[in-house]
Structure 1
Amino acid sequence: MTRKMGTLLLASAGLAAMGFAGAVTAQSATGFAEQVERGRQTFAVHCAMCHGADLAGGQFAGALKGGAFLGKWGEVPAAELFDYIHRSMPPGGSSALDEADYVDLAALILSENGATGEAALGFTGGQLAGPQLPAAPVGEQGNELGIGGITDRYPFPASPEPVDRFANYTPVTEAMLSDPAPENWLSWRRGHNGQGYSPLAQITPQNIATMQVAWSQALPPGAMMNEPLVRDGVLYVFGFGDSVFAFDAADGRQLWRYDRRLPDDVLPLSKKAIALYGDKLYVATSDNALVALDARSGRPAWDVKITDRPGMRSNGGPLAADGVIMTGLATQEPGGGLIAAFDAETGKPLWTFDTVAKTGTEGGDTWNRVPDAERRGGSVWTSGTYDAETGLALWGVAQTYDTGPYRDALPGANNDGLFTNSTLAFVPRTGELKWYYQHVPNDQYDLDWVFERVIGDLDVNGQRRHVVMTGGKEGLFDTLDAATGEYISTADMGFQDFITQIDPVTGRKSVDPSKIPGRDRGSVFMCPHAGGGRNWSPTSFDEATGTLFVNARDTCMEMRPVAEGGFLSSGVNIYYAAPADSDGNFGFVQAIDMASGKVKWETRRRAPYDMGMLATASGLLFTGGMDGDFLAYRQDDGSQIWRSALTGVPNGSPITYAVDGKQYIAVVAGAGNPLSFGLPGFTPELPTPAVPSAAITIFALPE
């Protein structure tokens, strides 16, 4: 049967992965009748004032039984009823109940609508088991009478029928992801190539001054660094606490919501990316599962565990390509990070790849003879990109904090530490590693190269080359051949001071020996700081001009030796420092000509940037800072031409899309990545928000 989802504000999520069986088992171990009685007591205290003492409707809310209620909820799984009342009642969360209380309330509503049975509602295979709501009686689906109800004896104006955004839904194909329609933003950084560039041009430098808020929706308060997706007028976004929302992208009307019930010992994490493929939306969860949701309803299609290894966390998000869903995990535990792949349709595990190479495998002899069980690092906390031309999925890998065992090579040993700070090129279906390139071996500074891989065509010495471009925290951007991984060139943003030479053939980078830190050495001053430089914020690439737009934080660090321990295991702690010639403007944006490696322009501001870049075909460039400002610049010269204050700190990436011919700009806010906390002590007049919040705000030109 069908229901008016917008009217009920119903998130069509079952309990396939809510993970709280233990929370309800103890109280519900008796029977259905006992659950109903407990539910009646809970209802009397918390619900009767609105819904009426006998569930027949009250002054402030409708009936929970009878023809009208079953007209909306008849034949709906008990799991769905539970999910709705658990999330939505009482309104506003003014009196949250225990999860077992909500199970008892579900039992009461089932009973009042004719459900019977002896077995208590419980969980079998992760699903709420027990009686289901019966179908609505024939001829009894009209409105109920009583206080707060609407009489059916007198005429009443018809409600406007909302636009059905899923009416003509077609599966998201490989071709769509490789070359999205201008109005859509189908994957992290818009399309498979990771460029973060949109061909939309309705909003221009000439009319942006009139741009204003079109709609906004509050999201669950907490860390928020997700980059939304938009497909044919539907906006999808991942919220704190592992909630997923689908909104009408034109007016903000909620279409569905999925809530995951995380185990008590799992810390919710924000995610950079979610993925669309076929008729599903794919989400990596904080309890290290991968979930496929029906893109039209939010109902889980499958739910699989990525890994049972302890100490793993998911910050990046999935990549969908060639019928495969890939995702990476980060860790500081022995064994290192991993990338795992699953069949998009069934969730069947396909392959995993250890990013810390083990003995007997490719790169396994590059860990300075440290035993496999003691090797750490290689976290993957950014999603990959996919190159349709070569059929390769490109992933970035981070460094290791366990620097001590690798600083000095043992005689005859290799201490590069593969595959840290590398680009890996996989065949999605098989996991075959076609090529890899290590950008900086043996990183002793916590200067990751785990960020986005940008795919495109670039003029190199008069020849058009198909390339992949990526950069590390030190503000160096390597360009590689996308098919082979062959090194082509490096562009330098100009603020690092510890890499003194780059081999023009191989790209191997040489470090100033005087700036190698350790417990047995003196204090080292170097630039940038591990928490500064070119960091979490994704770039944007205009392929037509070969220009890469990037923001960074102009900081340096002192690496001070300590007698025991240390942030890095070489025996040093790190401290922020300002560059010697700093003017107090720590945030800057650059436009880099990737063919020549030259910086075209640079613009600076005091507040550090902490969100990604968005470039559009009209010559606009968007980003934002930890002071809550959302900003627009001209691409040609970097001049700021528009700003808006947001309700929180923006630290995802802005996107743009169009619905019915109208262009929109979307941005999420809610302190979620380390950059959103600013630079400690650098800008004391810019404190982070005292009240945690999160929201998505949509801008557009006035009608």
Structure 2
Amino acid sequence: MTTSALTTSFVVASLTVGSMLTVAHTQVRDFKPVTEETLRNPSPADWINWRRTGDGWGYSPLNQITRANVGQLQLVWSWAMQPGADEATPLVYNGVMYLPSPSGIQAVDAATGDFIWEFKRAGVARRNLAIFGEHIFAGTTDAHLIAVNARTGRLVWDQTVADKQLGYQYTSGPIIVKGMVVAGMTGCDRYKDDVCFISAHDAQTGKERWRTATVARPGEPGGNTWGELPLTLRAGADTWIPGSYDPASNLIFWGTAQAKPWASAQRGTDGASLYTNSTLALNADTGKMVWYFQHIPAETHDLDEVFERVLVDSGDRQSVFSMGKAGILWELDRKTGRFLNAFDLGYQNVLNIDSNSGQVKYRPEVIPKLNVRVEYCPGPGGFKNLFAMSYHPETRAFYIPVKLSCATSVFAPMTSPEWARGGTGPSKRTSLPHPASPNDLGEFVAMDSRTGKILWRHRNPLPYDTAALTTAGGVAFIGDMDRYFSAFDTATGQLLWQTRTPTPPDGFPITYAVGGRQYLAVPTGPGWFVGYTHLQDVRPAFHKVEGGPAVLVFALPTSSGRL
């Protein structure tokens, strides 16, 4: 184990509350508290925000691994994580890797994979953790936020944020903004006299500082966009992917999901249903909504726009970019929310977009009617989903994992039990191959952020199942459902290196450095259930590899030849 990260070995097992347990083999030595300045300007060696930096780029300035030597990468260590669906993002700070899993949080030596400590708690939100001060923060599937000591793994506080009996839960972790833990709630498809929200909490105590609703209530601004629906029937606008933060404007940017049930005919209104399928800009101090932009009003195909918000400056132009399931790259002015651009990948057939205003209109022939079969593209899961794109500042391009599909669907009326409970609505959705790519189900795309021009594309037999990662070494990394983890030249799209993993790459790859050596970490695991449902429809002979989640770590050989 690396002496820079760990103390002398010892064993502690301490029961905290209920099913919570901390097991420590060692503890982190010489831990330096993480400050706001550290989060805003992280060391190139660390990965301490969900997408490394608060602007959501998913890019690393490390350049030891390059397009010239990436073919020499070798596995240097691996770690089996606790069972369960994962989609994890490792967090690395000062030589220690922190891993979220549905069973808890683990800390391991980032250079060797040696165990440090484990905090066991059922239902930890799987996608990401946050770090600030001396604490690691996570959400949970019973709608709590928790703080754990980063040195020892001991529970610091546990804050109930919402009532899990109403369906509320976290499926992603928080971000940190100005000493606050900011998290987006999900599980908002249930009917109740309450709505989905984003909330901020004191990092030292968990006490709530502010809460901003993502659904306009009756009588509030935007409330009439739900028609005559009472508050109880205003569902959706979940915020299940972490947001981004711009310290210059003091704005937090967050995406919201679609209204529920999915089809407007099931909801009983064809109104815009604010603030679903929107980008929200919130004042970081108060949570006040400074502006919003609704990408797809009255969305009716389960094509949400909830995913990562990426903040990019180009001269005096300060933009927030996003791409939802329809495969449209949106560019908005960060300060005002003014529409700037919408670049369509060219595969969807449900929307017409006004290039001047950004306003969309549904093509009448694809609007679902109850109990009537309708075909449209994209299919379930969309072209772009939770696996984040990456922005590369040298090429000024986005690197985007795309799933190519269409669907045939029948949306049925809500039954009496469903009207009582809520939900996504009864439907029968079947995936179809996309006519533009009947044989290949995946595509890795490089798109120019200024013009929307496709710089290169790489078709793949099976869909991609990880976020994209780009580096200053000129390499873009991505993993697919056929267990391949691949490296591409960011400039040309040339395949440079590929390895096959025991279970599919699954989640958010990262890169970091310890002791001057660059490492590449990729989570693997059971895979994305929506992706497998799609495969069952279009590739029924495909065999899913079963297995639990793990993290695999690669590096270049050292001068001595050792791994």
TM over 0.5: yes
Q: Which of 480, 483, 486 pairs up with 2:338?
A: 486
- In 2, Cα distance between the equivalents of 1:166 and 1:676? 41
Which residue type is aligned with residue 536 of structure 2?
A: P
Bigger shift: residues 388-397 or 677-686: 677-686
- In 1, Cα distance between the equivalents of 2:425 and 2:156? 47
Cα 1:564/1:388, change in 2 over 3 Å: closer
Matched, 1:655 2:510: yes
Cα 1:685/1:598, change in 2 over 3 Å: same
Superposition pairs of residues 280-291 of structure 1, within 5 angstroms: 280-291=135-146
Question: Unmatched 5+ residue regions in structure 2?
Answer: 1-5, 559-563
- In 1, Cα distance between the equivalents of 2:302 and 2:11? 45
Bigger shift: residues 183-192 or 678-687: 678-687
Number of the residue aligned with 1:333: 190
CA contact (8 A) 2:414 2:425 kept: no
Cα 1:569/1:278, change in 2 over 3 Å: closer
1:394 Cα deviation (Å)? 1.0
Number of the residue aligned with 2:364: 513
Matched, 1:175 2:37: yes
Cα 1:441/1:282, change in 2 over 3 Å: same
- In 2, Cα distance between the equivalents of 1:659 and 1:613? 22
Number of the residue aligned with 1:353: 212
Q: Which of 122, 133, 140 pairs up with 1:278?
A: 133
Number of the residue aligned with 2:167: 311
Matched, 1:185 2:57: no
CA contact (8 A) 1:408 1:415 kept: no
Matched, 1:531 2:384: no
**Greater Rg over alpha carbons, structure:** 1
Matched, 1:541 2:391: yes
Which residue type is aligned with residue 182 of structure 1?
A: P
1:336 Cα deviation (Å)? 3.8
- Deviation string 1:34-54 (CA, Å, 9 cap, x unpaired) is xxxxxxxxxxxxxxxxxxxxx
Q: Which of 219, 225, 238 pairs up with 2:81?
A: 219
1:420 Cα deviation (Å)? 0.6
Cα 1:17/1:343, change in 2 over 3 Å: farther
Number of the residue aligned with 1:59: none
1:544 Cα deviation (Å)? 3.1
Cα 1:347/1:373, change in 2 over 3 Å: same
**Structure with higher RCO (Cα < 8 A, 6+ apart):** 2
Cα 1:650/1:435, change in 2 over 3 Å: same
Superposition pairs of residues 23-422 of structure 1, within 5 angstroms: 84=23, 166-167=29-30, 169-241=31-103, 243-260=104-121, 262=122, 268=123, 270-309=125-164, 310-331=166-187, 332-334=189-191, 335-403=194-262, 415-422=271-278
Q: Which of 663, 676, 681 pairs up with 2:537?
A: 681
Number of the residue aligned with 1:589: 444
| Structure in which a larger fraction of residues adopt helix | 1
- In 2, Cα distance between the equivalents of 1:563 and 1:407? 6
Number of the residue aligned with 1:599: 454
- Deviation string 1:138-175 (CA, Å, 9 cap, x unpaired) is xxxxxxxxxxxxxxxxxxxxxxxx9x8531x3221222
- In 2, Cα distance between the equivalents of 1:570 and 1:284? 27
Number of the residue aligned with 1:642: 497
* SS of aligned partner of 1:176: helix
- Deviation string 1:202-231 (CA, Å, 9 cap, x unpaired) is 011111111101111111122111101111
Number of the residue aligned with 1:465: 317
Which residue type is aligned with residue 140 of structure 2?
A: T
CA contact (8 A) 2:266 2:370 kept: no
1:488 Cα deviation (Å)? 0.7
Number of the residue aligned with 2:354: 502
Cα 1:275/1:367, change in 2 over 3 Å: same
- In 2, Cα distance between the equivalents of 1:676 and 1:481? 33
Which residue type is aligned with residue 196 of structure 1?
A: G
Number of the residue aligned with 2:3: none
Cα 1:375/1:474, change in 2 over 3 Å: same
Which residue type is aligned with residue 18 of structure 1?
A: S
CA contact (8 A) 2:412 2:425 kept: no
* SS of aligned partner of 2:290: strand
| Structure in which a larger fraction of residues adopt strand | 2
- In 1, Cα distance between the equivalents of 2:486 and 2:454? 21
TM-score, length-scaled by structure 2: 0.91
Cα 1:569/1:337, change in 2 over 3 Å: closer
Which residue type is aligned with residue 651 of structure 1?
A: D
CA contact (8 A) 2:327 2:382 kept: no
What's the Cα RMSD here? 2.4
* SS of aligned partner of 1:545: coil
TM-score, length-scaled by structure 1: 0.73
- In 1, Cα distance between the equivalents of 2:83 and 2:424? 35
* SS of aligned partner of 1:365: helix
Which residue type is aligned with residue 456 of structure 1?
A: V
1:431 Cα deviation (Å)? 1.3
CA contact (8 A) 2:389 2:401 kept: yes
Number of residue pairs matched by the alignment? 543
Q: Which of 537, 555, 559 pairs up with 2:405?
A: 555
Number of the residue aligned with 2:554: 699
CA contact (8 A) 1:653 1:667 kept: yes
Bigger shift: residues 282-291 or 269-278: 269-278
1:9 Cα deviation (Å)? 5.1
Question: Unmatched 5+ residue regions in structure 1?
Answer: 20-79, 89-161, 263-267
Number of the residue aligned with 1:442: 298
- Deviation string 1:443-473 (CA, Å, 9 cap, x unpaired) is 1000110100001113xxxx53111100110
Number of the residue aligned with 1:153: none
Which residue type is aligned with residue 274 of structure 2?
A: L
Which residue type is aligned with residue 337 of structure 2?
A: G
1:294 Cα deviation (Å)? 1.4
